[in-house]
């Protein structure tokens, strides 16, 4: 649609004037029309000049706005450059602070327990004990290189350094360890240190240590690693091979190795391998085996070897753990009939552990633990054998425990246990007990 221009409106006004002047004299009408046309022309010229002035003003404002926009963009660019420069100057310090926090990790666990014993008089009856309190401190010195220090307080009141080693990771999930570390001999302490519900049986004198699988540490070298396999990498294989100083005579008779170094030139060689098979969303099966061999006397004459096999099934709320253990240790003693002579024989220790567990409700579980320990060794009187009677003597200890565990928080559990040490008659009376313990981890 075309808009009317100024000429159009002038013609309209002229026609209107002609209509209004129809009744006047022609000369007067012509003079009046000329006067009105001149006035209208002046008014149109004034409006045109005003429009031109407004157009010039608008162009000036637009130009100024564009200049201001360009100036603001330049200022923003300069400000961004300055902010980036300051950020880059502060970034190394910030990265260093974050890295210093990320490089050091601290976690730990502890267990406080009180037990009441029946049967024979026991010095710790109804006494509070720190079963253990352990701190794990890891420092990432560099990418792929870390240090570990784990001090611990045990139930006997001693403070020990369980771990103090350096670890280098040449490949992802594979490490080389040098120093003091927990020896990965069995599933019990390789995956959960220390073993739940373990209480050392009370043995007669000269009896070998009941279970070598309880946590023990040593100094040496170790290589460990994890490999995933399966169509989707759902299964996992763990391996560990190590060379350590090994036990001396005192260490082999005890639970922990507390001595530094070794009493001979021989080293103990050991290895462990286990695999975890994921059989479903809530089901997995773990199979493991381990073994070790070494000498424990100063003359490198008496050797020991140990083997263990373990299996654990977890499905839904149920878990089952089974372990079989065997250890042979060569022993030597004087001959009763001829003290100048000696006889070398083998003492054998074998054990089984079975631990079922079932979660009744969220945060509430019931469990049981059954241990069987059998010791076979040549009969002797004191530290002497009789060449006329080297048949093995044998004794056994059976331990039964039932318990209830309550999760108080995500990091604390309360456990109530009742159990009995069922001993052969020549070892003494059976020992029933009750135990209440608080376990925490962080």
pLDDT tens for residues 155-210?
Answer: 777 888 889 999 999 999 999 999 999 888 875 554 444 444 545 555 555 555 55
Tell me if 162 sits within 8 A of 134, measured CB to CB.
Answer: yes
With b for 16 or more beta-carbon neighbours within 10 A and e for fewer, the 70-94 pattern comes to eeeeeeeeeeeeeeeeeeeeeeeee
Nearest to 369 by CA among 358, 353, 384, 393: 353
Q: Are strands 380-381 and 364-378 parallel, antiparallel or unpaired?
A: unpaired
Give the position of tokens 């002229």: 14
Q: For residue range 110-147, list pLDDT tens digits in order.
A: 989 888 888 777 777 888 888 888 899 999 998 899 99
CA distance linking residue 121 with residue 113, whole number of Å:
19
Residue 70's SS3 state is helix
Dihedral through CA 255, CA 258, CA 262, CA 268, nearest 10? 40
Q: Among the CATH numbers 1.10.3720.10, 2.40.160.10, 1.10.10.10, 3.40.50.300, which is that of 118-441?
A: 2.40.160.10
**6-20 and 26-103 are packed helices; what angle lies between their axes, rounded to 10 degrees?**
150
Lowest mean pLDDT among 13-22, 101-110, 152-161, 355-364: 13-22
Lowest mean pLDDT among 16-30, 130-144, 381-395, 415-429: 16-30
Fill in the DSSP letter of residue 86: H
Nearest to 179 by CA among 145, 133, 153: 145
Lowest mean pLDDT among 233-242, 336-345, 393-402: 336-345
In angstroms, the first-to-last Cα distance of the chain is 82
- 359's enclosing H/E stretch is strand 342-361
Q: How high does pLDDT run on average in the chain?
A: 80
How far lies 430's CA from each of 51, 89, 350, in Å? 117, 73, 20
Q: Is 340 exposed, middle or buried (0-12, 13-18, 19+ CB in 10 A)?
A: exposed
């Amino acid at each position: 649609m075309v808009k009317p221009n100024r000429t159009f409106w002038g013609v309209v006004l002229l026609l209107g004037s002609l209509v209004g002047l129809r009744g006047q004299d022609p000369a007067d009408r012509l003079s009046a029309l000329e006067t009105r046309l001149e006035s209208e022309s002046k008014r149109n010229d004034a409006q045109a000049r005003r429009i031109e002035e407004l157009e010039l003003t608008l162009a000036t404002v637009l130009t100024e706005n564009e200049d201001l926009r360009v100036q603001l963009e330049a200022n923003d660019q300069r400000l961004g450059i300055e902010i980036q420069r300051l950020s880059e100057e502060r970034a190394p310090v910030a990265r260093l602070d974050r890295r210093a926090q990320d490089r050091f990790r601290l976690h730990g666990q502890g267990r406080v327990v009180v037990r009441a014993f029946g049967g024979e008089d026991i010095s710790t009856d109804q006494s509070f004990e720190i079963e253990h309190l352990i701190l794990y401190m890891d420092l990432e010195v560099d990418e792929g290189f870390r240090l570990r220090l784990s001090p611990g307080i045990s139930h006997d009141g001693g403070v020990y350094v369980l771990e103090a080693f350096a670890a280098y990771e040449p490949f992802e999930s594979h490490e080389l360890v040098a120093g003091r570390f927990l020896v990965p001999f069995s599933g019990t302490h390789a995956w959960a240190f220390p073993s739940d519900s373990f209480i050392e049986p009370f043995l007669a004198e000269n009896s070998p240590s009941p279970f070598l699988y309880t946590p023990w540490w040593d100094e040496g070298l170790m290589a460990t690693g994890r490999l995933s396999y399966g169509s989707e990498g759902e299964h996992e294989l763990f391996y560990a091979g190590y060379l350590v100083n090994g036990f001396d005579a005192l260490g082999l008779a005890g639970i922990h190795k507390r001595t530094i170094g070794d009493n001979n030139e021989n080293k103990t060689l050991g290895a462990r391998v286990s695999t975890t098979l994921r059989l479903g969303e809530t089901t997995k099966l773990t199979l493991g085996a381990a073994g070790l061999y070494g000498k424990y006397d100063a003359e490198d004459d008496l050797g020991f070897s140990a083997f263990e096999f373990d299996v654990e099934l977890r499905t839904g709320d149920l878990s089952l753990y089974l372990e079989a253990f065997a250890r042979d240790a060569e022993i030597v003693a004087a001959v009763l009939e001829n003290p100048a002579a000696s006889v070398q024989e083998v003492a054998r220790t074998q054990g089984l552990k079975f631990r079922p567990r079932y979660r009744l409700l969220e945060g509430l579980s019931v469990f049981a633990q059954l241990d069987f320990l059998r010791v076979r060794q040549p009969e002797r009187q004191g530290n002497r054998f009789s060449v006329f009677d080297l048949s093995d003597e044998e004794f056994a200890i059976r331990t039964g425990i039932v318990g209830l565990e309550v999760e108080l928080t995500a990091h604390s559990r309360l456990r109530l246990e009742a159990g009995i040490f069922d001993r052969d008659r020549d070892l003494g009376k059976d020992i029933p007990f009750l135990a209440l313990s608080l376990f925490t981890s962080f």
